[in-house]
C-alpha cells in the first residue's frame, strides 16, 4: 500500500484514488454520535414539514434539552444538509445546554437510581423519580440536580430498553418489530431482507481455467415487491465489507454496473431502504453497519434467535437460485453429497467468477419477469404498480461516499517502528517516502497530505511532514538522478507466449514488455520450442542498441528460453552479464 523505494523513478500507488472525505461515521466519539443520532430522530420529521409550529418545537426542545430557538436552528441545518445523522453533530464547545456538567458523585446517584427505581414495572413518573434523586443527594450532602437535568438523563436512555424494563417484553417487541411476524409492509424499500450463502458451484480462474473454490452470494430482497434489489458475488467470506457492497448495489443506479458486465437488461429496482431485516450474524451487528445505517436513516431489525423462518423470503429466493444452478450450470456441488453422487464437480467446473455473476444477473431478469406464486404477478409488475402509486424512489448518486460510510476502518498511530495491518508491517520509512514523493511530484500542501494519510489510517501532523520533506527530498533527488540517466536498469524485459488465432490459423504469439508495460517486440510462430525462442530473442537483440539491453530478462519456467539465451551468449549476440530470471506463472 505505502511500500515505495528510493531506487524507483516511477511508483504506482494502489492508493492513488480521488479522496473521499470521511464524514464522521467512524471518527465521532460515541457520545457525540449518540447525541447526533438522537437529534436526527426528533428533528428529521420536523424538517420534512413545510412549517413547524411553536408547540412542536417546544416538544422537541424538551426532549433534547434545548431551547426553541436552538430547535429551529437544527431544523434549518437538517433542511440544508443531506439527510444524514452527521448534519446534526453537536458543536465542540465546552458548555451549553445538554452538556454533562454534574459532579461525578451526582451522576453516579442518578445512574444507580435509574437502574433500580425508574426502569421498573412500577413506572414511576418523572416528578416522583426526581424527588427520590433529591432525597438521596441531600442525604449524601451532594448538589441536587434540576428536574430538567434528570429528564435529560432519562431522554438519553435507549427507548427500547426503557420500554422493555417498564412495560415488558411484549411492548418492546411491538416497538422493535421482532418476536412476532416481521412488520407488515405497504411500499417498496419499506423492508429489505439481506442474507448470505455459499454458492453450490465451483468456479475457475480467468487465466488457466482451473478450479479455485466456491464463491459466496450476498442477496438483498424487497419484501413488498419480492424484487432482487442487489447482490454481491465474491470469494471472500461474508463480512461488513460484503454487506456494504451489497447496500451500494441496492441504493445506487445499476446501469453502469450492467454496462461493465456487458448485459443489456432493465434493472430499475434501486433506492435507499427504510429498514433492513437481518439475521444475527456478526457482520450484521458490526459497528460499521450500525453507524452507516444511522447516518443514512436506515433502521435495523433482527430475526429472533433460533427462528430462521423469520427470514423466509430471502432464503426462499436463495433456495430457488441454488436449484437453478443445480439444474443448469456445470461444476455444481449440489446441496449435499447424496445428491452429488459420483458427479465430479471440480473437473466439470467451467465458469469464472465474472461469468457466474453475469449468469446470476440474467437469472434475476428472468425472475423479475416471471409470475410469482405468492404475488400472482411478476415482481417487476408489482414494483411498477407501487412506483406509480408512491413515486420513483430516490437513488444514491455518490456511490463511493455511501460505501465508505459502511466500511470498517482500522486506526493505526504511527510509531518509531511503523505499524501493522493484517499481519503486514508498514515501516515509517515507507510512509515518509510516500509523503515526500507526493509532495514533490504533485505540489500537495502539508495539511492535505496530513488528511490523505489520516484517511489511510496514519496519524501524522503536517509539521512532521514538513520536516520529512526538508530532510529527505534532496537525498531522494540525488539518488534518483543516476537512474534517470540510465533508464534501462529500471526496465527489465518480461517475456511470455500465448496461443492466438490469426487469420483463421492458430499460432504462438511471443512478446516482450518492459516493467512499465511498454511492448519491446513480438513474434509469431507455428511452434513453441527452443528454436522459436531463439529466433524471437535474436530478433529483439538485432533491433535494439547495446545500451538498451537490460541486466535482467524475466521468463516463465519453460526451458526453451534458457537454452536460447545460452546459445545467443556463446554467439556473442547477447551480453554475458545479462541475467536470466525464471519466475513461476510469469506474465508480461
pLDDT value for 180: 42
Note the pLDDT of residue 75.
86
> What is the CATH code of the structural domain delimited by 489-582?
3.30.420.10
pLDDT of residue 567: 92
How far apart are the C-alpha atoms of 247 and 376, rounded to whole Å? 28
pLDDT of residue 182: 52
Produce one character per residue of 546-571: b if its CB has 16 or more CB atoms within 10 Å, e if not. Answer: eeebbeebbbbebebbeebbebbeee
Report pLDDT for 157: 79
d(CA 350, CA 352): 7
Q: Measured at the alpha carbon of residue 524, what is the angle toward residues 523 and 525, in degrees to the nearest 5?
A: 120
CA–CA separation, 539 and 57 (whole Å): 83
Say what the pLDDT of residue 273 is.
Answer: 92
Q: Note the pTM of the prediction, 2 decimals.
A: 0.49
Q: Tell me whether the CATH fold assigned to 192-404 matches the one assigned to 489-582.
A: yes
Measured between alpha carbons, how far is 523 from 536 in angstroms, rounded to an integer? 6
Report how far residue 175's alpha carbon sits from residue 162's, in angstroms, rounded to the nearest whole number: 11
Q: CATH classification of 104-176 is 1.10.10, yes or no?
A: yes
pLDDT at 588: 45
- What number does CATH give the domain 192-404? 3.30.420.10
Euclidean distance between CA atoms 366 and 208, whole angstroms: 31
**Domain layout of the chain by residue ranges:** 30-88, 104-176, 192-404, 412-477, 489-582
How does DSSP classify residue 283? G
Grid cell of 265 as nine digits = 437488461
Half-sphere exposure of residue 187: CA atoms within 13 angstroms, side-chain side? 14
- What pLDDT was estimated at residue 228? 92
pLDDT at 460: 81
Tens-binned pLDDT, residue by residue, of the chain (588 aa)? 333 333 333 333 333 334 444 555 656 677 778 888 888 888 888 888 877 888 888 888 888 888 888 888 888 888 877 777 777 777 644 444 444 567 888 888 888 888 888 888 888 888 888 889 999 998 988 888 888 888 888 877 777 778 878 877 666 555 544 334 455 788 899 889 988 888 888 989 988 889 888 999 999 999 899 999 999 999 888 888 888 899 999 999 988 888 888 888 888 899 999 888 888 888 888 888 888 888 888 888 887 765 555 556 777 888 888 888 878 888 888 877 777 778 888 888 888 999 999 999 998 988 888 888 777 888 999 899 988 888 888 888 888 888 888 887 777 776 655 677 766 666 567 788 888 888 887 778 888 888 888 877 777 888 888 888 998 888 887 777 655 555 545 578 888 888 888 788 888 889 888 877 778 888 888 888 989 999 999 998 888 877 778 888 899 888 889 899 999 999 988 888 888 988 865 554
* CB 534 within 8 Å of CB 567: yes
Amino acid at each position: 500500500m505505502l511500500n515505495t523505494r528510493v531506487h524507483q523513478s516511477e511508483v504506482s500507488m494502489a492508493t492513488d484514488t480521488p479522496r473521499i472525505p470521511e464524514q464522521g461515521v467512524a471518527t465521532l466519539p460515541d457520545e457525540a454520535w449518540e447525541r447526533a443520532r438522537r437529534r436526527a430522530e426528533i428533528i428529521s420529521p420536523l424538517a420534512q414539514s413545510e412549517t413547524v409550529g411553536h408547540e412542536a418545537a417546544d416538544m422537541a426542545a424538551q426532549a433534547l434539552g434545548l431551547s426553541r430557538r436552538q430547535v429551529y436552528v437544527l431544523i434549518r441545518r437538517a433542511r440544508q444538509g443531506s439527510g444524514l445523522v452527521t448534519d446534526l453533530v453537536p458543536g465542540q464547545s465546552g458548555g451549553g445546554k445538554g452538556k454533562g456538567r454534574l459532579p461525578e458523585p451526582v451522576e453516579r446517584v442518578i445512574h444507580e437510581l435509574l437502574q433500580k427505581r425508574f426502569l421498573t414495572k412500577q413506572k414511576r413518573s418523572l416528578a416522583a423519580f426526581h424527588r427520590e434523586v433529591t432525597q438521596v443527594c441531600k442525604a449524601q450532602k451532594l448538589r441536587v440536580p434540576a428536574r430538567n437535568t434528570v429528564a435529560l438523563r432519562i431522554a438519553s436512555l435507549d427507548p427500547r430498553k426503557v420500554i422493555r424494563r417498564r412495560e415488558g417484553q411484549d411492548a418492546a417487541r411491538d416497538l422493535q418489530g421482532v418476536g412476532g411476524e416481521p412488520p407488515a409492509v405497504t411500499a417498496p424499500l419499506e423492508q429489505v431482507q439481506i442474507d448470505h450463502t455459499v454458492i453450490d458451484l465451483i468456479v475457475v480462474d480467468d487465466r488457466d481455467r482451473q478450479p479455485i473454490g466456491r464463491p459466496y452470494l450476498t442477496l438483498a430482497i424487497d419484501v413488498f415487491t419480492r424484487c432482487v434489489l442487489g447482490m454481491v458475488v465474491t470469494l471472500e467470506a461474508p463480512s461488513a465489507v460484503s454487506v456494504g457492497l451489497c447496500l451500494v448495489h441496492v441504493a445506487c443506479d445499476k446501469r453502469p454496473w450492467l454496462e461493465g458486465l456487458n448485459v443489456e437488461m432493465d434493472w430499475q429496482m434501486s433506492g435507499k431502504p427504510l429498514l433492513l431485516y437481518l439475521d444475527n450474524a456478526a457482520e450484521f451487528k458490526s459497528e460499521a453497519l450500525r453507524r452507516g445505517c444511522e447516518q443514512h436513516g436506515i433502521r435495523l431489525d433482527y430475526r429472533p434467535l433460533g427462528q430462521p423462518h423469520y427470514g423466509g423470503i430471502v432464503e426462499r429466493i436463495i433456495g430457488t437460485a441454488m436449484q437453478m444452478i443445480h439444474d443448469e450450470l456445470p461444476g455444481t456441488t449440489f446441496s449435499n453429497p447424496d445428491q452429488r453422487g459420483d458427479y465430479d464437480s471440480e473437473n466439470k467446473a467451467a465458469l469464472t467468477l465474472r461469468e457466474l455473476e453475469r449468469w446470476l444477473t440474467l437469472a434475476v431478469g428472468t425472475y423479475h419477469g416471471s409470475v410469482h406464486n405468492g404475488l400472482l404477478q411478476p415482481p417487476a409488475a408489482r414494483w411498477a404498480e407501487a412506483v406509480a402509486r408512491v413515486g420513483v424512489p430516490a437513488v444514491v448518486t455518490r456511490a463511493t461516499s455511501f460505501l465508505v460510510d459502511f466500511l470498517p476502518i482500522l486506526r493505526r498511530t504511527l510509531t518509531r517502528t511503523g505499524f501493522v495491518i493484517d499481519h503486514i508491517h508498514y515501516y515509517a520509512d515507507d510512509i515518509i517516502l510516500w509523503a515526500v514523493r507526493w509532495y514533490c511530484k504533485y505540489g500537495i500542501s502539508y495539511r492535505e497530505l496530513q488528511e490523505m494519510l489520516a484517511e489511510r489510517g496514519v496519524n501524522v501532523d503536517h509539521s512532521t511532514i514538513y520536516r520529512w520533506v526538508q530532510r529527505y527530498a534532496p537525498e531522494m533527488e540525488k539518488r534518483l538522478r543516476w537512474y534517470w540517466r540510465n533508464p534501462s536498469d529500471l526496465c527489465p524485459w518480461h517475456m511470455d507466449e500465448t496461443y492466438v488465432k490469426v487469420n483463421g490459423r492458430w499460432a504462438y504469439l511471443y512478446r516482450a514488455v518492459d516493467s512499465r508495460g511498454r511492448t519491446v517486440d513480438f513474434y509469431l510462430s507455428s511452434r513453441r520450442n527452443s528454436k522459436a525462442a531463439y529466433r524471437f530473442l535474436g530478433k529483439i537483440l538485432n533491433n535494439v542498441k547495446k545500451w538498451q539491453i537490460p541486466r535482467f530478462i524475466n521468463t516463465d519456467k519453460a526451458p526453451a528460453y534458457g537454452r536460447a539465451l545460452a546459445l545467443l551468449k556463446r554467439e556473442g549476440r547477447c551480453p554475458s552479464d545479462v541475467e536470466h530470471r525464471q519466475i513461476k506463472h510469469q506474465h508480461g
